[in-house]
Amino acid sequence: MNTRHFLAPALFALATGPAFADVDKISEVDVAADITAISNEQAALFWSSIAEDLENAILAQIVERIADEGAKISVRLEEVALASAFERSFDLEQSVLVGQVNVTDETNNANFNSYELSVSLSGVTAVDEDGEPLLFESVEAEHAYQTMITAFAEGVVTRLD
């Protein structure tokens, strides 16, 4: 089933004020998650590719900005939130993806930003190809996972401008 996601503005809970970097070019995106820190073996297996998946999702949204020189985006995902989200089986009200995002630029100090980004499924509305709303209670974990990855990447990219 093909679904489209409409991400509500309330989806993102940002821990910092409204300061945004004004980043035109990006030379590097680095996402890290210490999956070995998750004590639940099933959760660790489920999230095993999250760093790569999130990095690819961010890169897909900034492809026209990639350059040899520019800002670096670093994301450090919080392992506790990953384990908790898995253990709650993507409960709509409690699933969350949390990470520390840092934007640095060695050639332009104005392109600096550091904030915690939290994405929750509670602000997401998903619809099927006919436009009918889907309830997340009926959505598979992999679908919820992809929704959170996409929403987190959008949250990072939005803060670049």
Residue with the bigger pLDDT between 19 and 85: it is 85
Rounded-to-integer distance, Cα 66 and Cα 71, Å: 9
73-93: average pLDDT: 70
Mean pLDDT of the chain: 76
* Residue with tokens 């640095």, as numbered in its chain: 104
pLDDT at 161 over 60: yes
Alpha helices in the chain (DSSP H): 41-46, 50-61, 79-87, 141-158
Question: What is the total residue count of the chain?
Answer: 161
Residue with the bigger pLDDT between 78 and 72: it is 72
Mean pLDDT comparison of 73-82, 96-105, 123-132, highest-scoring range: 96-105
pTM: 0.76
Picking from 49, 159, 47, 151, the residue whose alpha carbon sits closest to that of residue 102 is: 159
Q: For 35-66, how does the pLDDT look when each residue is reduced to its tens digit (9 = 90+)? A: 877 777 777 787 889 999 999 999 999 999 99
133 membership: H or E segment, kind and range = strand 133-134
Structural domains of the chain ordered from first start: 3-158 (3.40.50)
What is the dihedral sign for C-alpha 86, 87, 90, 96?
negative
Q: Which residues contact 120 (CB under 8 A, 6 or more apart)?
A: 11, 13, 95, 96, 97
Q: For 140-158, how does the pLDDT look when each residue is reduced to its tens digit (9 = 90+)? A: 677 778 888 998 999 999 9
